[in-house]
Structure 1
Amino acid sequence: MPISRIAIGSPGEASHPDAIKAAFAEFFSMVIFVFAGEGSGMAFNKLTGDGPSTPSGLVAAALSHAFALFVAVSVGANISGGHVNPAVTFGAFIGGNISLLRSILYWIAQLLGSVVACLLLKFATGGQETSAFSLSSGVSVWNAVVFEIVMTFGLVYTVYATAVDPKKGNIGIVAPLAIGLIVGANILVGGAFDGASMNPAVSFGPAVVSWSWANHWVYWLGPMVGAAIAAIVYDTIFIGQSTHEPLPTNDF
């Protein structure tokens, strides 16, 4: 089982230059992703008046998030692995592909990046609201949790298949493209119901800046559970003990 390979990491890892560089890469990737994704919704709303809640607004959100995530993952891939999502980091941790201490650095950087992106958007738009994620009418919190679990499972399963699996070969641009596309596709599915976050940091930034926390726990529980299930399923069935490549010792 992958959970048997979970690594805590060494006390000095938090100050290791490579870990610091990786955290900065996650921060800047998250700024790029949230600024483009959240900003596109704000721009659509300005042009149309409550446009993001329309079918065309949903398509625009899916496309902007897919494009932005493709770029954000690509620019961070060679430095941090291009997680750009606390749930992806958690899935990598459950699979023994990143230590706990480095995961914590990533989580801090990802959350700060989202907050900074939303603050920049609020300032640049003259105070326009960065809307927090919320449930649509008729959608219960547990409906939303299931949505987030299933959508994040698909995302992290894709990450494992295209970026983590040691048998993946040299697929280059395919990994960030596939990751961006599955997020865009999932937004088309879940966007009308709970906003289709799949990413606790993406939900955290707007919640902080707008100070709106209604049902915010949904956008943490669902993605983290979905990520853990995907990591365990993919690692157990398709990677296995015999082919798993452990972390280099300098990552612990």
Structure 2
Amino acid sequence: MAIYRIAIGTVGEASHPSALRAALAEFFSMLIFVFAGQGSGMAFNKLVTGHDSAGQSADGLIIAALSHGFALIVAVSVGANISGGHVNPAVTFGAFLGGNISLMRSFPYWIAQLLGSTVACMLLKHATGMETPAFSLSSGVSTSNALVFEIVMTFGLVYTVYATAVDPKRSNVGVVAPIAIGLIVTANILVGGVFDGASMNPAVSFGPAMVSWSWDNHWVYWVGPMTGAAVAALVYDNLFIDDLHEPLATNDF
């Protein structure tokens, strides 16, 4: 089982220069991702209705899917050589469960990801004068429905991350990892966006909720993605990564 490779790490690991550089890279990647993704939805609403919010539409859903997908391809690419390009607390959690990052090194990632999303939403609010809408459930969608969506969609995302970026056997597939990751997010938004916004990313949900101070059903956007990430990491690591695979050495941190 992959669980035996989990590493807690040392307290000093979190403040090591390499960990701080990686966290900074995650901050900027998340800022780029949320600013473009969240901002595109706000711009579409302004263009179509002339005010801050609009009902869901097919055009809006496609624009949201494409903007988030394209932005994530860039965000993962620019952070890949420094932090691994997680750009998602759920991805970091999945990497931790697979023994690919220690718990202590994960904390700076999580903090940076949440801060990056929040700063992006603050900049959008200041620049546009509009509210940054928080993720919410559509009419008729229960929290249990949304949980299933978030679990399954995040499973697909983290499974893709493992197959294209984490697996030691990935070979040349790793070159297209950012594209594959961006495309699965695009596809998932087209599936779940009309039901619960298709977050798949606790930080992406946290920033708008913090800036707009709207926390209704916010827990769904943490429990669902973290659960989906955990299942994907354990399934892929246990079934498809050889026992010879070793986690990152502590001194590499």
Aligned mates of 2:9, 2:252 — CA distance in 1: 7
Contact 1:52 1:58 in 2 (8 A): no
Contact 1:98 1:251 in 2 (8 A): no
Q: Any idea what SS the aligned residue of 2:84 has?
A: coil
Cα deviation code 1:153-183 (max 9, x no counterpart): 0000000000000000133530000000000
Contact 1:134 1:194 in 2 (8 A): yes
Contact 2:2 2:98 in 1 (8 A): yes
Contact 1:86 1:201 in 2 (8 A): yes
Give the stretch that moved more between structures: 209-218 or 48-57: 48-57
Aligned mates of 1:248, 1:94 — CA distance in 2: 15
- Please tell me the residue identity of whatever aligns with 2:73: F
Cα deviation code 1:84-138 (max 9, x no counterpart): 000000000011100001111100000000000000000010x201000000000
Per the alignment, residue 187 of structure 2 pairs with 185
Q: Any idea what SS the aligned residue of 1:64 has?
A: helix
Which runs of 5 or more structure 2 residues have no equivalent in the other structure?
A: none
Say whether 1:250 aligns with 2:246: no
Contact 2:133 2:209 in 1 (8 A): yes
Q: Any idea what SS the aligned residue of 1:240 has?
A: coil
Say whether 1:112 aligns with 2:115: yes
Q: CA deviation at 1:216?
A: 0.1
Q: CA deviation at 1:245?
A: 2.6
Per the alignment, residue 71 of structure 1 pairs with 74
Aligned mates of 1:59, 1:92 — CA distance in 2: 30
2:103 alignment partner, one of 100, 104, 123: 100
Aligned mates of 1:171, 1:187 — CA distance in 2: 24
Aligned mates of 2:200, 2:250 — CA distance in 1: 31
Say whether 1:201 aligns with 2:194: no
Alignment of 1:1-252 (within 5 A): 1-49=1-49, 50-51=53-54, 53-125=56-128, 127-242=129-244, 244-251=245-252
- Please tell me the residue identity of whatever aligns with 1:92: A
- Please tell me the residue identity of whatever aligns with 1:24: L
- Root mean square deviation, CA, Å: 1.0
Aligned mates of 2:58, 2:88 — CA distance in 1: 26
- Please tell me the residue identity of whatever aligns with 1:112: L
- Please tell me the residue identity of whatever aligns with 2:45: N
Q: CA deviation at 1:11?
A: 1.8
TM normalised by structure 1 equals 0.97
- Please tell me the residue identity of whatever aligns with 2:249: P
Aligned mates of 1:87, 1:150 — CA distance in 2: 13
Q: 1:157 to 1:52 in 2, by over 3 A?
A: farther
Give the stretch that moved more between structures: 64-73 or 46-55: 46-55
Q: CA deviation at 1:251?
A: 4.0
Aligned mates of 1:51, 1:168 — CA distance in 2: 42
Contact 1:52 1:61 in 2 (8 A): no
Q: CA deviation at 1:248?
A: 2.3
Contact 1:13 1:251 in 2 (8 A): no
Q: How many residues align?
A: 250
Provide the identity percentage: 78
Contact 1:9 1:100 in 2 (8 A): yes
TM normalised by structure 2 equals 0.97
Q: CA deviation at 1:240?
A: 3.4
